[in-house]
Structure formats: C-alpha cells, structure tokens
C-alpha cells in the first residue's frame, strides 16, 4: 500500500483538475516505462514468527540496516517506516510485509537487476538479524491475531474501518502479499484498450501466480486465497469494474467511479485525518465535517486514488493487481507477461481479439472461480488453461518483437518462461505446495519457510 502522496498541495476548485491528473500520465512510446512492486513476508528463523516492528530483530531494525545501501529513511512520529532511493522506495504493509516499489525502468532486464539487488540487500541485513523472507500470496502459518501491526497512521484508520464493510479486510491487510506491475499509456484511447485487455485477462494472471493454498497451517480449499480475500474486503472499492467495457469509457468515467469510492483519510500537516466512509464529493464542496471549510488538494486526490482496489487500477499509469507474491523468477515474469501483451501493438491487438467477445457474466465468473480452481476453471467448453497458453504465446511474441536485448544480446522473452512452464503443465505453484504438504512435508507447512525463502 502506498504512503502519503508526494504531489503538490494545489487546491481542487474544478472537477476538470481530477480528469487532468489521469490525462497527465500520457507518454509517448519512447517514454513508456516498467514499474514493478512486490511484497514479502518476514519471519524469524528460530520460531518462524513474523517480526514485530520494534526490537533488536524488528522490522525497523531491518529498515535501518538497509540504509547502508544508500537508502534514505522516512520517519513518521519518530519511527522509520520507509526508505527511498531516487524513484524507488521500500515500504511496510500493515503487518510488516516488506514492499519494494521499484523505479520506472526501460526494460525487463533492468527490472530483474533491481529486484535481484534488493533481495540481496535484504538477505544481507536479514541474516544479521536472524530473519528470513518468503514470497507467497497468503501467510501460510500464523493466525490473524498473531500478526503484528506497524505504527502507520493510515493503517490505524483502515484497521478500524475494514470490519464495517467486509469480513476479510483485516486478513487482506495483515496476511497477503502480491506482485504487481505498473505500465504507461500514450493517450486516452490507448489507456482504454489496455485497461480492457488487462482487466479481462487478470484472472489468467491470478491463475498462473496462484500460490496461497494454506491458512493457519492447513489447506484452505483455495489455490489463490489472496484473490478470494478481495471478494469480501470492501465491495465499494474492489472488483472487475464492468463499466470499463461500456461505450464512452475514459478518464471522466473513472473519475466518477473514484468519487463514489468512500474516503479513508486526508493527510494534513504530517497527520492522517480520519475521513473513513465519507464522500470525496462532499470534500469537493468544502463540506467535509472533519475538515470544515477545507477544499481537497491534488495531494488528497492522489492519496484517494490509492485507496481503490480493483483488479486493475488507473492512476497516472495502469496497475495490474491480480497476482500472488512469489519467488524471484515470478517477480520478473509478471511484468514480462503484461509488457509483452501491452507494449507491442500487434500483441495488444491480438490480446484484444482474444477477449473482446467475453461477456460481462463470463468475466465475472472467471474472477469468482479462479481463486479456487485457477487454470482448471471451466471456460467455453475448455478451461482457463487454454486461454492462458494463448495469452502467453501472444506475450512471448510481443517481447520478441520488442527486441530489447541485454549486454549479451538476449531479449526479454526468457523472463516469461516460468509462466509458460506452469501453463503447459497445468499445475500452479499452489498445487505443487499442496502435493508437498500431503507428501514429503507430512502435513506441516513449516518446511515452506525453509524451502521457498528468498
């Protein structure tokens, strides 16, 4: 989850300013970049418990240790809660899940170098503290009430609000991890096409990355329990956004959607003001009761945009949000999948042809069924595995046409190989872990922390 926006404090006096924020994300093709974010669970090597924030082996100690690599600490009320380096940041999720928000980079080779460097830095400091880190979609062992909470103001507000709007919101906050990629668009029409393709194919990404089959140390009946959790977190701010496929969709319609998403907070003078459940439209009229007479700023709007959690999110770029966290090679594979589909014109056309006749009912059925069945989800006389293989072939061809080679002359298509292997085998990472649980692990999830740690 994001920290406070770094946007300016210009007051919003005209509805058009909200639309202009989205339009300002338009970039020529040569300026398109790739931003990859991933979260991971920390655990203590001796007892596998998640580290608390404070203490000699706490998350704050880890952040302070990472500062040796040129990261600048960011504090809230005297606590180090984040790090920045250029356009990249390291932040904390509510229960201390560590997130790298990577800088916008030109190629997938750059993405993988960035991820690899970050994981090496984390490993060096974590080893000194007796900590490890695991990439999965859901905390496999510890109960919600056993998870720590980080001292961040926005999380206090969300923690109190979540139980009012769903039953699984606190699990989302404390026990999930994801990997996502942020990609650019050239124009409103380009944004619309990419939004529709990525939203329709988001269940494919969820299926390929499904890696959250355990809850409280036992199988939970799902392959991506992380994905299921979003179905009962807060329906006002989640879902498949059917209106994206309606005629006339564009920036204006997305702004209307955001204005109907209830607020969480306003960040003023270093403090989070609780505005949970209140209307941003009321704020625009200067009638927000917790800030009497105040008008929202561009900073408020940018913060508000981060509190909508659909499967694909529009800010000044498009965020693909449907994947469980995982190991290093899948952290590189997710951006490879979407870059291959969306950054090559022929691939984007082919991907649109693949999904353009999906009905609203079909799109939503895929979203509902994929958390449990992943690639085996029934679809049009076959399964989602068939769509996944076709989408991966399109993405692979798109990456080859991009022809962005590293210093050895190797293009980006190799990064998608782990997903091709999963799709062709028809066996997700979750299913492989379940087989180990019922076999070599003798009904215990503890080995996952050893065998699948970074």
**pTM (predicted TM-score):** 0.96
pLDDT at residue number 4: 47
pLDDT in tens, 40-95: 999 999 999 999 999 999 999 999 999 999 999 999 999 999 999 999 999 999 99
Tokens of 132: 């490890």
Residue 9's pLDDT band, with cuts at 50, 70 and 90, is: confident
Distances (CA, A) of 61 to 64, 131, 450: 5, 11, 22
pLDDT at residue number 7: 54
Q: Does residue 448 carry a pLDDT above 90?
A: yes
Q: Does residue 5 carry a pLDDT above 80?
A: no
Going by the DSSP 8-state scheme, the letter that residue 242 receives in this structure is G
Mean pLDDT within 155-182: 98
Do residues 282 and 300 touch, judged by C-beta distance below 8 A? no
- Measure the CA–CA gap between 332 and 135, rounded to whole angstroms: 13
The CA-based angle 76-92-130, given to 5 degrees, is 110
Q: Does residue 289 carry a pLDDT above 90?
A: yes
pLDDT in tens, 292-335: 999 999 999 999 999 999 999 999 999 999 999 999 999 999 99
Going by the DSSP 8-state scheme, the letter that residue 137 receives in this structure is S
Q: Does residue 14 carry a pLDDT above 60?
A: yes
Domain boundaries defined on the chain = 29-223+326-451
pLDDT in tens, 274-288: 999 999 999 999 999
CATH number of 29-223+326-451: 3.30.590.20
- Measure the CA–CA gap between 143 and 374, rounded to whole angstroms: 24
Tokens of 326: 């995982």
Q: Does residue 1 carry a pLDDT above 80?
A: no
pLDDT in tens, 176-225: 999 999 999 999 999 999 999 999 999 999 999 999 999 999 999 999 99
Mean pLDDT, the chain, whole residue set = 97
pLDDT at residue number 214: 99
> Which residues, including other chains, have CB under 8 Å from residue 105's CB and lie 6 or more apart?
33, 34, 35, 111, 114
- Measure the CA–CA gap between 386 and 406, rounded to whole angstroms: 31
Q: Which residues of 32-55 are buried (b: 16+ CB within 10 A; e: fewer)?
A: bbbbbbbbbbbbbeeebebbbbee
- Measure the CA–CA gap between 346 and 364, rounded to whole angstroms: 27
pLDDT in tens, 356-387: 999 999 999 999 999 999 999 999 999 999 99
Of 235, 253, 101, 123, nearest to 188 by C-alpha is 253
Mean pLDDT within 393-411: 97
Residue 431's pLDDT band, with cuts at 50, 70 and 90, is: very high
Do residues 397 and 347 touch, judged by C-beta distance below 8 A? yes
Residue 8's pLDDT band, with cuts at 50, 70 and 90, is: confident
């Amino acid at each position: 989850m994001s920290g406070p926006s770094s946007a300016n404090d210009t007051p919003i006096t005209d509805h058009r300013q909200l639309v202009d924020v989205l339009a300002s994300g338009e970039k020529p093709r040569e300026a398109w970049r790739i931003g990859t974010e991933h979260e991971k669970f920390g655990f203590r090597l001796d007892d596998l418990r998640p580290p608390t924030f404070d203490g000699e082996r706490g998350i704050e100690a880890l952040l302070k240790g990472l500062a040796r690599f040129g990261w600048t600490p960011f504090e809230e009320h005297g606590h180090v809660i984040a790090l920045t380096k250029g356009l990249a940041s390291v932040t904390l999720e509510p229960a201390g899940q560590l997130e790298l928000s990577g800088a916008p980079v030109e190629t997938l080779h750059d993405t993988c170098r960035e991820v690899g460097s970050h994981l090496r830095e984390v490993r060096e400091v974590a080893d000194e503290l007796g900590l490890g880190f695991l990439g999965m979609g859901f905390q496999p062992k510890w109960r919600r009430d056993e998870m720590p909470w980080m001292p961040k103001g926005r999380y206090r507000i969300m923690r109190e609000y979540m139980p009012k709007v769903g039953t699984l919101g606190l699990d989302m906050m404390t026990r999930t991890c994801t990997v996502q990629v942020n990609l650019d668009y050239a124009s409103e029409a380009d944004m619309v096409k990419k939004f529709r393709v990525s939203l329709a194919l988001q269940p494919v990404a969820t299926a390929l990355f499904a890696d959250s089959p355990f809850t409280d140390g036992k199988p939970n009946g799902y392959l991506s329990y992380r994905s299921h959790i979003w179905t009962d977190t807060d329906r006002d701010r989640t879902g498949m956004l059917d209106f994206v496929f309606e005629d006339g969709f564009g920036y204006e319609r997305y702004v209307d959607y955001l204005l109907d998403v209830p607020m969480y907070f306003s960040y003023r003078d270093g403090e989070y003001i609780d505005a949970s459940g209140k209307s941003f439209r009321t704020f625009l009229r200067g009638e927000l009761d917790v800030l009497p007479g105040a008008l929202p700023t561009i900073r408020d709007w940018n913060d508000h945009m981060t509190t909508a959690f659909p499967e694909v999110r529009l800010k000044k770029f498009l965020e693909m949000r449907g994947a469980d966290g995982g190991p290093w090679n899948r952290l590189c594979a997710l951006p490879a999948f979407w870059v291959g589909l969306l950054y090559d014109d022929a691939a984007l056309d082919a991907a649109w042809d693949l999904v353009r006749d999906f009905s609203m009912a079909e799109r939503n059925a895929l979203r509902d069924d994929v958390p449990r069945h992943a690639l085996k989800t029934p679809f049009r006389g076959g399964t989602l595995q068939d769509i996944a293989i076709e989408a991966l072939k399109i993405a692979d061809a798109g990456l080859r046409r991009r022809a962005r080679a590293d210093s050895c002359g190797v293009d980006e298509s190799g990064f998608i190989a782990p997903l091709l292997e999963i799709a062709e085998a028809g066996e997700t990472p979750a299913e492989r872990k379940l087989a180990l649980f019922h076999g070599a692990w003798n009904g215990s999830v503890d080995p996952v922390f050893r065998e699948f740690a970074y």
